[in-house]
Each structure stands twice: as structure tokens, then as C-alpha cells.
Structure 1
Amino acid sequence: MTQRTADKVARLNMNDVVIRSLEKRDMPRAIEVWSTAFGFTDVNRWHNFAFEVSDYVVGAFIDDCPQALATVIMFDMHFNDRWIQCGGIAGVACTPPMRRRGLVKTVLKECLTRLHKEKVEVSALWPFSFPFYEKMGYSITDIQYEVTQQIASIPEVGDSSAYKAVSLNEFAHLLPVHERWTSMFNMSLTRNASRWERQLARPERQFVLFQHQDGYMIWNLKNPKDRTLEVVEWAFLTEKAFHDGLSLIKNCGQLAFDKAKWVMPGLEPFLQLGVSFPPAKIEIRHGMMSRIVNEDAFFKNSGLESFAQPINDPLNISGSSTDSEALGPGELLQIATGLTQKPGQENAAPLYRSAGKAQAFSIEQY
């Protein structure tokens, strides 16, 4: 998506703040902003992130120096058995002297305004602060469960040989399963080949891959904490793929690892195995936050046209912030996917689970 928009100028104290797209000439200072915020200083990786991974980067500039940045990465999102557009927000950062001055909000609003103009239905992000993004109209749209289990207490339920080791440069073998996996959930995002390559080339991790007929596993072997095997991603489309994966993990006990941890969209497959001793540690985690961007495109393309209604948007992008009786742009997604209910509101009751019975689960990290 090419973004050619006129620069916008705002005032902050005595400074003119220019809101515009990041250009290559801005990269040395932009890398300083990102490196300070995230503690990651790989120049080539940041350059790749800005101009190859991202569709565009929006910045707030003072004296032609970036003070706040946010990137937009376009995905296809599975929702209500359809695929709609999602503008993923990433790389949100601000220089320390200019934080808490409204620059990040201004940059995010510009990103959403551009997405609205392009008739993009939804935006999503992984938040650094839930309350902050709630003020931007985003809401938590899935709940995830991190399970940490003593390997010795994992029951013998599957066949580990059903998983085969796959080299990192043969990740394409996993793509068909990944596509089937994302199609099982609401709010899941596609992952193309270039994003697979980026995910598997993260320098802070050492990955190994295992492929199953109905699943796959990605393990991180680098710097394990407390002798715990980190299963970074586990796709299992069937109960057998889950049981076979448990058997594979169990085979790693006693040597390098005592425990394993993994993330699940729901606990039922695990709880069906019964009580173990010592019991597994289960942590409930908030997943991605999302919101509607272009309300007309969303209701039309999501199959929820009959549920179209006004939206109370604090940023005045997909609705008016003065309509206090209306649902928020993220809240509406929560209700449509069945993540939460809103009792007592006539406009919420028929919308509940209108996006079908598929569970919401955000797989993609960006």
C-alpha cells in the first residue's frame, strides 16, 4: 500500500510538529528512537523492518527529527468465515523527552485515518499498555493460556514419531498447516513466506521445527530459563496432533529440560487428560487488541451488515465520540466474537456471537 499524503502540522508548546511518512533519509534518527525504546540496535534489521516488513511508517517530526513513530503492516484477518483487511500497528515508540505529550496518540490517529481512507476494516496490535490503547478505541480480542508443565508428569498419550524434524530453510512445509490453523479462529492473521523467514531469523532465539500431518511445533533452544523448554508456537488441528506433541516434549525430559511451556487458545484438550502431579501452572494472558477502523467496510465485508450500528469512537474515526449509547470500536468486536457480553444494552444482545462459533485467537506476532 503506497501512502502519499500531505504533511500535517500540529503545535506542541512552541514547536511545530510535522506528521508525515518516514523516508530513508530519516533512518539514522529513527533507529535511535526505536533502539532507545526497545533496546535492540541491529541497524540492518530496523531498516528491513521499516521499508520491507512494514507497508509504511508514520512519524511526528520536530525540526525534521523523528520524535514518535508507528508502523503499519497489512494482513488478511480471518473473521466470521471471511477474510478482511487488518492494519497491524507495530514499532510504536517515542523519544524519552517527548513521552506523555500526546505525540504517540497523534501518530496513531494518523495511521488509523489513513487506514480508514483505504477502507480497511480492522486494526490490531500487541499493546505495551492496555489502558493507553483502550483510550484509542482498542479492546482485548482474545484470551490465551500459557501452560508450564513438569515434563516427567506429562502422560503417555501419543506417538512422538508422528512429528518429523524440519530444517529452518524448509519452513514452507509448514505453510499448509498454518493456513488451516488460522482458518479455525476468528481474529487470526495470515503469515506469508517473508514473514515466516523473519520470524525464524530472530537473533535472540535458536529455533527448531517439527512437522505433523495435522500440526507443527516451533521450539526455542537458546538460553532456556529454569531448564524450561519454550514451545514458541504449537499448531494442532486434531486431538492426535496435540497428544503426539506431548509425547515429543516428554522425550526431552531428564537431559536438557525439566519443564516445558506452551500457549493454547483453550484449555479443554489439556484438561481432558486429567490431573497431574505436580499440577501444571496455567497463566491466563491477554492476547491482541483490535478495533474497527472503517465501519462501513467492516459491516459490509464481515457478513454482519444486518447488525450495522453507530460506533462510539474516542478518536472520531469510525464514529462519533459523543454517542455514549453506542458500542466502542473494539468493544463491538469483543461482543461479535463472543469474548464478552454487554448486558442491558439493546444493541449488544443480537450482536453477541454474531461472528460465528469460532474462537478468537491471535497467532501472529509482529
Structure 2
Amino acid sequence: MTKPSTATNLDSKLTRVGDIDAVIRTVETGDFLHAVETWKTAFGFTDEERWKRFAFEVSDYAVGAFVDDYPHALATVIMFDANFNGRVLKCGGIAGVACSPPMRKKGLVRAVLRDVLKRLNEEKVEISALWPFSYPFYEKMGYAVTDMQYEIVQKIDSIPKVGDSSRFRPVKLSDYEALMPIHQRWTKMSNLSLERNTARWERQLARPERQFVLYLHDDGYMIWNLQDPKDRTLEVVEWAYLTEEAFHDGLALIKNCGQLAFDSAKWIMADLEPFLKLGVSYPPAKVTVKHGMMSRVVNTEAFFKNSGLQNLAVEICDPLNISGHASDTVSSMGPGELIQVATGLLKPADDAASALYKAAAAPVSFSIEQY
């Protein structure tokens, strides 16, 4: 995985944020005890060892806004390789965004994220992405929803009789690497799907709050969570299918679980078409449309050059003034809207950007990775 150079605290700087003087700098190991208090109060998760691994092993680096040497606002960066328009771009994944209760709504989180994005811009990172606690909050910083997801909840008895479950085979959790080639092929099928390295596979499957089982198919895989099923509903945490046949075989596998522990099953799809082609079931499935990941362009020059869209370059309006004008005097398209337009999620308001619409060649965008 490509990593940016981690900025040292020689780059720390005093910043006026409203009426507060804050030092924005990289979080070091000596800051951890205070940093974990900020994270614990923000997320309600108190396992200090897991926070330490997250901050200094899982993340490439963390940035904080320090007031009187206390990290009141934090964000970490996890570098990913992101699939886009048949190419691989660098993506700065933002995670662990938190602020201590006394300093919330003071602008410190915005200051931290602006610093993070400036670092990514200097490293010529093409895009940034995150899973938001508030979609409107991050829209103010140029991020936009870049994929829609469909959550399906269906009574197992009403799943159509299609496919052959015997084409799946169980895989031990310790043999998860058998799933990796399928995952690699799967991520290539969608815009904004993030690559998952071995370390991230291990982290994804080591969550104590879940009990995973794995099933592998020649053209897909399924990851189920059996821990504390809610309302006797099987949770399919991740379902990769590269063909319609693999999707049907997966439905057959789920259907075989309908007589013992589960009455219903729940899973996520990037595109409803394979499901809708099966016709109407009774009782009908419950389909919920959900917002997925938020993304934005960081370095516009690198983005257009490396995405294959160099002949369609436009200027953008960036509210954080990272890689575009902060006002809309030049263009009304924001850094997140640029991705929406290129992937076909949003039609451009400006005729000058019409050639960008659906220019990124992939049938859908799908943010598989959770971080």
C-alpha cells in the first residue's frame, strides 16, 4: 500500500481557530494517553489497546489540534489504493475523527481535516474518502456521497429457488487468504472500491463483537456474522459475486439456513438489478436505500492525470481551498461533486463539465471497505 511521508512535528504550527489558539501537528506516541480520552468520549469505546493499535498500526498517521498540549480534536489517515475508471489511485481514508466535549463546535475538527488534506495534496494524493458521522458536516468540507447502497432484508422462505449451494465450500477463518483473489477481482468491477491488504483482512475478521464464517465460490465468497443475530436475521457482512450464477448460488446457500437458527437474511448490494430480475416474492423483501462512502478530489492535477480523464479537466470550487478556489466565482462544482459527475451519480449543472458525466468507465460505484 502506498504511504505518504508522515509529517514531523517540525511542521507543527500555531493556528487561530475562532477565539482559540491551537497547535495542529502529528500525534506522537507520547500523546496517546490524552488522545485516547478524546476518542473514548467521542465513540464510547474504551479498549485502550485497540485504540493504540488503531492510531499507530492501522493508521498511517494521526493529526491533532492541541490546546495547552491536549489533543482536543483528532483524525487519522489510512492510505488505500482505490479503483477508479479502470485505474488505481491513491486514496487518503479519513477515520477516527473526534473532538473532546469541551471543544466541540469550535472549528477544531475542520482545522484538523484541512491540515490533513493539505498534507495529502502536497503528496499528490488523488482522492480522499470517509464514512461520516454526519453527511451535512462533511459536505461543508467538499466531500460528497459517491455511492448508494441497497440493504435487502428478506424472509428466507420467500427466497426464490435458484442456484446450487454446493458450489460454495466452507473456509476456515485462518485460511481467509483463499478469498483474496476473488476480492481483488471484485474491487476491479466498481469505481471507488478500495483494495484490502493482508493486514486489513486480519483486522476485518478479528472483531470480538462478531463471529464470522466464510464460504468460497469459484466466482465469489460470502462472510456471515453469527454473533447475536437480531430478530433471527442472518447478517451477510460481505457478499462478493462476480457472475449472476454466483449470486444465485449464494441465495441457495442462504435458503438452506432457513429451518434452524434464522428466519430472515440481510445483505448489501451495489446494484439491485440481479435481485429484481428474480421477480416479486411474497412476502416482498424490504429494500432500504442507504448512503455509502463520502469522497472528494484532493489534488486535481494528479486526479485528472492519473484517472485517464486528463482531457476533461475542469476547475473546482473547494471550500477548504486545498486544490481549487474557495469561492464559486470560477466554478460551482465542488471536489466531491466532481467525483459524482464523473461516475454518473450527479448530472453537472454547468455545460462546460457535461463531457465529464459518466466518463469514469464502471457500471457502479461501491464502497466495500469499512474503516
Unaligned stretches of 5+ in structure 1? none
Does structure 1 conserve the Cα–Cα contact (< 8 Å) formed by 2:150 and 2:288?
A: yes
Q: Tell me how far apart the structure 1 counterparts of residues 38 and 211 of structure 2 sit (CA, whole Å).
A: 27
Q: Residue 152 of structure 2 corresponds to which residue in structure 1?
A: 147
How far the C-alpha of 1:348 sits from its partner, in A, is: 2.4
Does structure 2 conserve the Cα–Cα contact (< 8 Å) formed by 1:151 and 1:253?
A: yes
Is 2:207 the counterpart of 1:172?
no
Is 2:68 the counterpart of 1:63?
yes
Q: Residue 341 of structure 2 corresponds to which residue in structure 1?
A: 335
What is the DSSP-based 3-state SS (H/G/I as helix, E as strand, rest coil) of the residue aligned with 1:347?
A: helix
What is the DSSP-based 3-state SS (H/G/I as helix, E as strand, rest coil) of the residue aligned with 2:53?
A: helix
Out of 40, 43, 54, the residue aligned to residue 35 of structure 1 is 40
Where does 1:213-232 land on structure 2 (aligned, <5 Å)? 213-232=218-237
Q: Tell me how far apart the structure 2 counterparts of residues 19 and 311 of structure 1 sit (CA, whole Å).
A: 26
Is 2:323 the counterpart of 1:318?
yes
What is the DSSP-based 3-state SS (H/G/I as helix, E as strand, rest coil) of the residue aligned with 2:231?
A: coil
Runs of 4+ in 1 over 6 A off after TM superposition: none
Q: Tell me how far apart the structure 2 counterparts of residues 266 and 348 of structure 1 sit (CA, whole Å).
A: 26
How far the C-alpha of 1:327 sits from its partner, in A, is: 1.1
TM-score calculated relative to the size of structure 1: 0.98
The more displaced of 292-301 and 317-326 is 317-326
How far the C-alpha of 1:11 sits from its partner, in A, is: 3.0
Q: Tell me how far apart the structure 1 counterparts of residues 112 and 273 of structure 2 sit (CA, whole Å).
A: 41
Out of 80, 97, 102, the residue aligned to residue 102 of structure 2 is 97
Q: Tell me how far apart the structure 2 counterparts of residues 203 and 357 of structure 1 sit (CA, whole Å).
A: 35
Does structure 2 conserve the Cα–Cα contact (< 8 Å) formed by 1:122 and 1:293?
A: yes
Does structure 1 conserve the Cα–Cα contact (< 8 Å) formed by 2:187 and 2:193?
A: yes
Where does 1:47-58 land on structure 2 (aligned, <5 Å)? 47-58=52-63
Which amino acid letter does the alignment assign opposite residue 29 of structure 1?
A: H
Where does 1:1-366 land on structure 2 (aligned, <5 Å)? 1-5=4-8, 6-12=11-17, 15-324=20-329, 325-343=331-349, 345-366=350-371
Does structure 2 conserve the Cα–Cα contact (< 8 Å) formed by 1:314 and 1:321?
A: yes
TM-score calculated relative to the size of structure 2: 0.96
What is the DSSP-based 3-state SS (H/G/I as helix, E as strand, rest coil) of the residue aligned with 1:189?
A: coil
What is the DSSP-based 3-state SS (H/G/I as helix, E as strand, rest coil) of the residue aligned with 1:243?
A: helix
Which amino acid letter does the alignment assign opposite residue 279 of structure 1?
A: P
What is the DSSP-based 3-state SS (H/G/I as helix, E as strand, rest coil) of the residue aligned with 1:232?
A: strand
What is the identity percentage for the equivalent residue pairs of Structure 1 and Structure 2?
65
Q: Tell me how far apart the structure 2 counterparts of residues 13 and 182 of structure 1 sit (CA, whole Å).
A: 42
Which amino acid letter does the alignment assign opposite residue 106 of structure 2?
A: R
Q: Tell me how far apart the structure 2 counterparts of residues 125 and 80 of structure 1 sit (CA, whole Å).
A: 20
Does structure 2 conserve the Cα–Cα contact (< 8 Å) formed by 1:208 and 1:221?
A: yes
Q: Tell me how far apart the structure 2 counterparts of residues 205 and 19 of structure 1 sit (CA, whole Å).
A: 36
Does structure 2 conserve the Cα–Cα contact (< 8 Å) formed by 1:2 and 1:55?
A: no
What is the DSSP-based 3-state SS (H/G/I as helix, E as strand, rest coil) of the residue aligned with 1:282?
A: strand
How far the C-alpha of 1:14 sits from its partner, in A, is: 6.0
What is the DSSP-based 3-state SS (H/G/I as helix, E as strand, rest coil) of the residue aligned with 2:351?
A: coil
How far the C-alpha of 1:39 sits from its partner, in A, is: 1.4
The more displaced of 101-110 and 3-12 is 3-12
Which amino acid letter does the alignment assign opposite residue 67 of structure 1?
A: H
Q: Tell me how far apart the structure 2 counterparts of residues 298 and 249 of structure 1 sit (CA, whole Å).
A: 41
How far the C-alpha of 1:269 sits from its partner, in A, is: 0.5
Deviations 1:3-33 (A, max 9, x none): 1241111235664311000010111111111
Deviations 1:288-339 (A, max 9, x none): 0000000111111110000111110000001011234341100010010011
Q: Tell me how far apart the structure 1 counterparts of residues 339 and 150 of structure 2 sit (CA, whole Å).
A: 20
The more displaced of 45-54 and 172-181 is 45-54
Q: Tell me how far apart the structure 1 counterparts of residues 129 and 17 of structure 2 sit (CA, whole Å).
A: 28
Q: Tell me how far apart the structure 2 counterparts of residues 66 and 208 of structure 1 sit (CA, whole Å).
A: 39
Aligned residues: 365
